[in-house]
Structure 1
Amino acid sequence: PPPPEVLHDRKQKQTYARLGLLGEGGFARCYEIVNPAGKHMAAKVISKASLKTQKARSKLVAEVRIHQGLNHPGVVRYHHAFEDDANVYIVLELCTNRTFVDLLKKRKRLNELEVRFWMWQLLAGVKYLHDNHIIHRDLKLGNLFLTEDLSMRIGDFGLAASIKHDGERKKTICGTPNYIAPEVLFDTQNGHSYEVDIWSLGVIMYTMLIGRPPFQTKIVKAIYKKIKENSYEFPPQITLSPEARGMITSLLHSKPECRPNIASLFRHPFFTNEPIPKTMPLAVLSRPITIHQREQLMGRSHASGGGVDAAAAAGGDADPTPPLSAAPPLSGSDRPGLPEMWIKHRAELAAPTHPPLAAVGKTASSPAASRGLEADLASAAKPVLLSRATTGSVAATGSTAAAAAAARRDGSSDKGSFDTGSSGSGHSQRQDAARRGFPPGPHDAVTDEAAAAALKGSVPAGGSAPSAASLASSAMDRIRNFVHGHTGAASTASAAAAAAAAAPTTAPSAISTAALVAPVTTINAVEAAGPDTPGNFITKWIDYSNKYGLGYQLRNGSTGVYFNDSTTITLAANNHNFEYLFYETQPSSQRAVLVRQSHTLTHFPPELQKKVTLLKHFQSYMYENLYRACDPADDASESSAATTRLDFLTKYLRTKQGVIFRLSNQVLQLNLFDHTKVVLGDGARCVTYVDKNRTLRTQPLIAFLEEGDPAVLERLAYARDVI
């Protein structure tokens, strides 16, 4: 029978009016209640008839003890417990938007933007539990609740266990069939620990994106058989990014010791390649986010402070463990997506706030680097996180935070961020680039026409998206105008590039827009045929510039790290010779001159030891975890054999839809977040296009123009606009 309409807490002399049923499980039912002050809460009601055994009573006591000791925005808030003659009542925070089971009943499945928003919060909540030696053991959609503002809460600690000492293993078989980890079912001799929650995270993420659990069948024994065999697949009709597939695959590893830990998941490309919204509109409860809502969310989201190239993201059985074993977990200030009320709990995710490269003995030239992000976190206003346009500091404090807020209001910011590492026209050009759209990635539920319309702007009311032919024609006009150009403009750009080359570049935040433009604007005619080889360009990269720098691998097999102090190490393809590059000011002219020092991995100055160690970390991580953007070069034998005068990254710049790299060999490369790449070589006469399947095509620009492929032309036009 249902509990009485009025509940009496005799000890606290409190009464509650019992309202409607919220849900029920195997051992309890949950009702909405309200106290005389009008505060609405939830009451978990356990019948005393189900508590006749000592084991059942002990389990309830353990649940209350665990839950009442938890205090985190990712966990349903515990208020208190009381009893009457018939029931025990656990009074909890009311999550008015119910559970993710209810959400998926309406929505069927979620898109990656939404999953990224909620999985980030779920990871933070699970990390808090594990840090406090709690295994939940029943993480599932039905135990994940949504508050009024659509924040996620973890609830129901009926099967939770407390780990009393390191190495302790639990041997109770418990959980929900679709979500149980294989070691719980089939390795009771060795037992289980925190890894069972990691497995459940994989099931949850898969279910959110696909719309059903990965091992779902109608017969429980068949579910267990599929779990034992790790037999699941990604439906071909549902498009998922490599990052999403890679993260799910790593979470659902059969061997618990091979699953990633929580701290490393915060740095997984699924989170770092794309921004995470700060909020979600209530409309997502019934329908997917529209293109317009997505743009609004991206406009006010925190920037993706750094990460791995989307096209080079870990996949398959890749282990998303960070490249630096000593690296601390990212703090809430380092990553987006945390609701403001979570800021007071930043200590659970906090990392030391020492300057970049402190371990190497250098600091970034920007004074903001030493301040960290504490100023933002300390304020009750909306936190401001800055994206990296260069390798300068990402900290926003004082007036820069106010400027960032102003940039968001006028829509000129880069994914809702403000770039402190720029000045003059370079900054305005980055803002202009951020305002230009680009088709959403393959995981977005939009048509090709709608995506093309998003590139051009919104589709007029009552109108239709422009045709592919008209888009191609427009793109061709823009590219031809860009390539032919004006003689005066080209010479001006060349002069600007020469001036930029002569200027000191010791400050990593001082990026030269003219230097980026010059190699492209000096093309004399579209008819000028270029070579049919793409030259050397970046095939893998990982941005760890919130602490050390940006690591990359070139197509010829060489590896480099662009450190936060503007120095660079480039390791030759033979994995033995390397060059250390830095700028040195000449006393006579006060000009900064590039200095190259040649060393080997067996003989180098002691002061380079830590940077060489970091180089090896980056190289190992990229080799083991990241896909190449394309096949290795078979046309760069001379470049691969080089041990001196190695190609290296000179500058990089984040835009709203991708990252621009400038290499010392005059190659300009645009990596877009939709997994495509445009590489401009030989003064842009030669163009290399890498599609979403990592298929590479290199030919003269004129050939691409004559083919008229809208996909290629739009990306070339976007490259032109950004540059």
Structure 2
Amino acid sequence: MSSKRPLQPLNDVHLNKANVPPLTAKTPIKGSVTKPEAGKKKKREKLSSLCKTPPSIVKNRHGRGYRRGHFLGEGGFARCFQMKDDTGRTFAAKTVAKASIKNEKTKTKLLSEIKIHKSMSHPNIVEFIDCFEDDVNVYILLEICPNQSLMDLLKTRKILTEAEARYFMVQIIGAVKYLHRRKVVHRDLKLGNIFFDPQMNLKIGDFGLATIINSAHPKRYTICGTPNYIAPEVLGGKEVGHGFEVDIWAIGIMLYAMLFGKPPFQAKDVQVIYERIKTNDYKFPPDSTVSLEARQLIRDMLSTDPYQRPSLDQILNYDWFKCGAFPSHVTVESLKQKPKHLAFITKEESMINLANCKQMVGINDVPKHPVEILRTDLESERPKTLLPHSLSPDNNKNKYKEVSPVNIKPYKSKISNQLSKAKYDNKMVLMLSESLSTTLKNIKDIESGQLQPNPELLQRPQLVSKWVDYSNKHGFAYQLSNNSIGVLFTEGHTVLKFQNRDDIYLILPDEECGWKVDHFAPEEMPKSLTNEMQVIEFFDKYMTAHLSDVSSDTTSIQNAGIFLRRYTRDDNGIMFELSNGSYQFNFKDHHKIVISDYGHYITHITPNKEIETLPLDYVLENGNFYETADDYFTVKYNFMKHALREKLSI
């Protein structure tokens, strides 16, 4: 099959649905000039007007072509166009005219924006794709967000529910915490710079004012930002200076606007806005039904003294996040009306949804390496070019890719000996690597015809039938298809029990064999496991009441020695690594595929809970499953192999 596809016509992206401010519906004509009317003072020309319409095909320095599509909008110094590559992927291209970069200060500002944004990798930050240039423009290629911005949503809805605001706040705080961990302050957080992706997750964009705060530059002094969102210390200029706290202030402004319909200091005259900000002159509308807990959080975030504002972690501990409904997700229904299902979310569900949301946005992730601006990032080696080699190639994006280590923590309970973390972590990592290596080798041999699995040994694999990610507090709870309930606790140990049985299995990290499994009858149960048993009972009741099984087929082998060793969540879904050498992939389209028995067999579970298990070579020979074909099997199969190899490399 040819890797290149013919260029397809671009689908329309409505102007009010892209991750840029929508201002006009027409593509500007190259070189067009409008003469001012007689007697009228000529307005100051916007720098964005210097941007020439890109040619129909724009190529990066490696010759990869992007087809220009519709004009999407413009800001103060850039215009944005839809771009499509030859695989059909669509992007937003922020286009900056080289003629607008008139001095070294402006150039440094643009290159700093590129470096900072390029080094970001977070599910709630607009993805940086590529940057390149031609003779007249610089192009910054970004993930396209087709479902409008928070500002557009507020214009349509006027006010949002507190449940929606809670969900949005956690996603915003997760992204901002990631920025702050990397020593970056955004400085232009506002509703118009936060966009919705196709799944209605929020994405922070526009790093034009972002800067780095570190020991060399503990404060910044430039007066910048959008009037309604500027913190009082920013208005103090060189007399005061500002730091990370300006982003906390902006989050408080956004929360007020979401719940009350407009920013708290809004006025027609910018100077009036600034005076109100300096004197903290705002009020809550007297006829609003917004909760007291929300008002208290807003008051604290809008403290004039930046050091009196709560930290991002402290914000998430406010009662407001726990006193009302918290949805598991937001749908496109929210773009036009109040979602109907919010009233039916129970307190128990809200607690788990909040924990899941925190997990997804990385609230408890380990600190990231700070962003650094190097001299090579700001200097060009070639004449007549703007982008240095360190920034312009699209194939060096992996230079900034963050690789997380295997995250296995020692268990520090009374029931465990104090083992050497380095020893047993290494043993566990070795066991995981051996399992992955065996699976990948078998898959390779099956693909080449050197290994044929025996159909007579075929059996249905154990499946993760239900799961709840509550690792923010306790751990990851799951139910296997053999009806065992397990919790992989945050400390690294697992407790496993069968429904309708009182005995349990305790799986501990072990320095000799990687994991040690202990079985306890009811009369032998250690008292130190009391808390764990309460957690398991809670999750057992929750999953029984609220979650459905992954498959309608209940036949399985009753093997109590199987447990979840590790799991990974990303934008494509979730991957489970089981102790029996099975790897289960739950994709976002609700299809599930399991590679079992170290690569010999493969299982497909459809969204309708139909299940089919076959030797891997049968499926590869057919190019798909037989009874339960998946239209995207080839893509998913290649993705799974890539995910396994990536795990092995880590």
- TM-score with structure 1 setting the length: 0.46
1:67 and 2:117 correspond: yes
1:384 pairs, out of 468, 478, 486, with 468
Q: Deviations over 1:417-468 (max 9, x none)?
A: xx999999xxxxxxxxxxxxxxxxxxxxxxxxxxxxxxxxxxxxxxxxxxxx
Rounded to whole Å, the distance in 1 between the matches of 2:150 and 2:118 is 23
Give the C-alpha shift of residue 397 in structure 1.
3.9
| Deviation readout 1:333-375 (Å, 9 max, x if unpaired) | xx232586x57994459999677xx6xx8689xxxxxx9xxxx
Aligned partner letter, 1:336: N
**How far apart, in 1, do the equivalents of 2:366 and 2:287 lie?**
42
Are 1:243 and 2:293 an aligned pair? Answer: yes
Indicate the residue corresponding to 2:189 in structure 1: 139
Partner of 1:336: 356
Does residue 475 of structure 2 align to residue 395 of structure 1? yes
Deviation at 1:269, TM superposition (A): 2.0
Distance 1:249 1:14 in 2: 51
Which structure 2 residues correspond to residues 101-250 of structure 1 after superposition, within 5 A?
101-165=151-215, 168-250=218-300
Question: Counterpart of 2:238 in 1: which secondary structure?
Answer: coil
Q: Which runs of 5+ in 1 are unaligned?
A: 306-334, 365-370, 372-378, 407-418, 425-503, 512-723
**1:210/1:381 CA distance change after superposition, 3 Å:** farther
Structure 1: how far apart are the matches of 2:308 and 2:363?
A: 33
Structure 2 counterpart of 1:287, from 322, 332, 337? 337
1:46 has 2:96 as partner? yes
Displacement of 1:4 in angstroms is: 3.0
Equivalent residues of 1:275, 1:303 under 8 A apart: no
Q: Secondary structure at the match of 2:138?
A: strand
Specify the alignment match of 1:55 in structure 2: 105
The CA distance in 2 between the partners of 1:344 and 1:270, in whole Å, is 17
Distance (Å, rounded) in 1 between the aligned partners of 2:133 and 2:470? 51
Secondary structure class of the residue paired with 2:131? strand
The alpha-carbon deviation at position 299 of structure 1 amounts to: 8.5
Relative to structure 1, the CA distance from residue 382 to residue 101 in structure 2 (aligned partners, 3 Å threshold; closer, same or farther) is farther
The within-5 A match list for 1:15-34 is 15-34=65-84
Alpha-carbon distance, 1:28 to partner? 1.3
Deviations 1:149-186 (A, max 9, x none): 01111110101101242661101110000000000002
Distance 1:151 1:68, change over 3 A: same
Alpha carbons of structure 1 residues 294 and 88: separation in structure 2 relative to 1, 3 Å: farther
Whole-Å separation in 1 of the counterparts to 2:147 and 2:482:
34
From the superposition, tell whether residues 510 and 88 of structure 1 become closer, same or farther in structure 2 (CA, over 3 Å): closer
Alignment of 1:404-419 (within 5 A): none
Residues 249, 301 of structure 2: 8 Å contact kept: yes
Answer yes or no: is the 8 Å Cα contact 2:228–2:265 preserved in 1: yes
Question: Does the CA contact (< 8 Å) of 2:189 and 2:229 recur in 1?
Answer: yes
CA contact (8 A) 2:414 2:528 kept: no
1:98 aligns with 2:148: yes
In the superposition, relative to structure 1, how do residues 362 and 70 fare at CA in structure 2: closer, same or farther (>3 Å)? same
Query: Which residue is 1:451 aligned to?
Result: none
Give distance in 2, aligned partners of 1:245 and 1:174. 27
- Partners of 1:179 and 1:272 in 2: CA distance: 27
The answer on whether the counterparts of 1:7 and 1:17 sit within 8 Å (CA) in structure 2 is yes
- In structure 2, relative to structure 1, the CA distance for the partners of 1:234 and 1:402 (3 Å cut) is farther
Aligned to 2:314: 264
**Residue among 352, 357, 360 paired with 1:303:** 352
Residue 136 of structure 1 aligns with an amino acid whose one-letter code is H
- Could you tell me which residue of structure 2 aligns to residue 82 of structure 1? 132
Q: What's 2:638 paired with?
A: none
The alpha-carbon distance between structure 1 residues 275 and 238, as it changes in their structure 2 partners (threshold 3 A), is closer
TM-aligned CA deviation for residue 271 of structure 1: 2.1
Deviations 1:487-534 (A, max 9, x none): xxxxxxxxxxxxxxxxx99945788xxxxxxxxxxxxxxxxxxxxxxx
Q: Helix, strand or coil for the counterpart of 1:8?
A: strand
How far has the Cα of 1:239 moved from its partner?
Answer: 1.3
Alpha-carbon displacement from aligned partner over 1:678-705 (angstroms, at most 9, x marks no partner) = xxxxxxxxxxxxxxxxxxxxxxxxxxxx
Alignment deviations for residues 215-234 of structure 1 (CA, whole Å, 9 cap, x no partner) = 00000000000000011111
When the two chains are superposed, the root-mean-square deviation of aligned CA atoms in Å is 4.3
Per-residue CA deviation, residues 192-233 of structure 1 (Å, 9 max, x unaligned), is: 110111111100111111110010000000000000001111
Cα distance in 2, alignment partners of residues 244 and 7 from structure 1? 50
Superposed displacement of residue 398, structure 1: 4.6
Q: Is 1:171–1:184's contact at 8 Å kept on the other side of the alignment?
A: yes
Q: Provide closer, same or farther for how the CA distance between residues 13 and 44 of structure 1 changes in structure 2, counting only shifts above 3 A.
A: same
The 1-side partners of 2:123 and 2:335 are apart by 21
What one-letter code is carried by the residue in structure 1 that aligns with 2:255?
A: M
Which residue identity is paired with 1:395?
G
Give how far 1:39 is off. Answer: 0.4
User: How far apart, in 2, do the equivalents of 1:9 and 1:50 lie?
Assistant: 21
Distance in 1 between residues matched to 2:221 and 2:465, nearest whole Å: 47
Q: 1: distance between equivalents of 2:258 and 2:464?
A: 32
Distance (Å, rounded) in 1 between the aligned partners of 2:408 and 2:283: 40
| Structure 2 unaligned regions, length at least 5 | 1-27, 29-51, 369-403, 417-424, 426-462, 487-494, 501-526, 535-650
**1:633-675: CA deviations, max 9, x gaps?**
xxxxxxxxxxxxxxxxxxxxxxxxxxxxxxxxxxxxxxxxxxx
User: Residue 268 and residue 13 in structure 1: after superposition, are their counterparts in 2 closer, same or farther (change >3 A)?
Assistant: same
Residues 81, 385 of structure 1: alpha-carbon distance in 2 compared, 3 angstrom cutoff: closer
Q: How many residues align?
A: 376
Q: CA deviation at 1:385?
A: 3.6
For residue 29 of structure 1, give the secondary structure of its aligned residue in structure 2.
Answer: strand
Q: Is the 8 A contact 1:384 1:401 kept in 2?
A: no
8 Å contact 1:272–1:304 — kept in the other structure?
no
Provide, for residues 95-133 of structure 1, a one-character-per-residue CA deviation record: whole Å limited to 9, x for no partner.
111211111111111111101111101001000000001
> Aligned to 2:122, what secondary structure does the other structure show?
coil
